[in-house]
Amino acid sequence: MIKIGVGVLLIFFFVNCSNTVLEPVNLTGFFNDNSSKIWVLNHPENEINTVKLPEKLALIFYNSGNVILQKISDLGSKQLTRGTFFVNSKQQLLEINFIKNKWKFKLKFLKENTVLLSPMKGSTIMKKILLKPFPEY
């Protein structure tokens, strides 16, 4: 009797769950923690806007969809580059739009807090970028 009850329960479970469609996880919150978050561009062979790395750059992603690009040594004090960003969670794409530049990347998550950005066709920057969160302290 118990075997029949468990069988019926399993059949009911599988029939009801077979039509479930899973939505992709919204990755926008990953980049800004639903407020703002500073990421460090970490790839020494890249050149971005004539600023050579290891003079590290920060990308600050805001919940509003805005983004700021600035040298870490100049955070909060000097000229910055403003833009907007959009994350396509389903296709795992990141677009960053500055006034004169449009960056398009495919997202590849390497670790919990490390993202490799691979450039896509139509991007004004055609080199891979590694993003790491700015250290907490």
Question: What are 22's two structure tokens?
Answer: 């899973």
Does pLDDT of 58 surpass 80? Answer: yes
CB 41, CB 57: distance < 8 Å: yes
The pLDDT assigned to 44 comes to 44
- Output the DSSP codes for 5-71: HHHHHHHHHHHHHTT--PPPP--HHHHHTTSEEEEEE--TT-EETTEETTS-EEEEEETTSEEEEEE
Q: Over range 50-57, report the average pLDDT.
A: 59
Higher-scoring residue by pLDDT: 50, 80: 80
Query: 83-105 in b/e burial notation, b at 16+ Cβ within 10 A?
Result: bebebeeeeebbbbebeeeebbb
Q: Averaged over 16-44, what is the pLDDT?
A: 76
Backbone angles phi, psi at 56, to 5 degrees: -60, 145
Instruction: Give the pLDDT band (50/70/90) at residue 105.
Output: very high
Q: Is the pLDDT of residue 6 over 70?
A: no
- The more confident residue out of 84 and 27 is 84
Amino acid 29: pLDDT: 83
CA dist., res. 18 & res. 13, Å (int): 9
Instruction: Using the predicted structure, report yes or no on whether residue 15 has a pLDDT greater than 70.
Output: no
In order of their start, the domains of the chain are 24-133 (2.40.128.640)
Q: Averaged over 66-87, what is the pLDDT? A: 87
Question: Is the pLDDT assigned to residue 20 strictly greater than 80?
Answer: no
Q: Has residue 47 got a pLDDT over 80?
A: no
Average per-residue pLDDT for the chain: 79
For residue 83, give every residue at least 6 positions away whose Cβ sits within 8 Å of its Cβ, in sequence order, or none.
66, 67, 68, 69, 96, 97, 98, 99, 101
Tokens representing 81? 């580059």
Q: Is 119 helix (H, G, I), strand (E, B) or coil?
A: strand
**Predicted pLDDT of residue 14:** 61
- Model confidence at 118: pLDDT above 60: yes
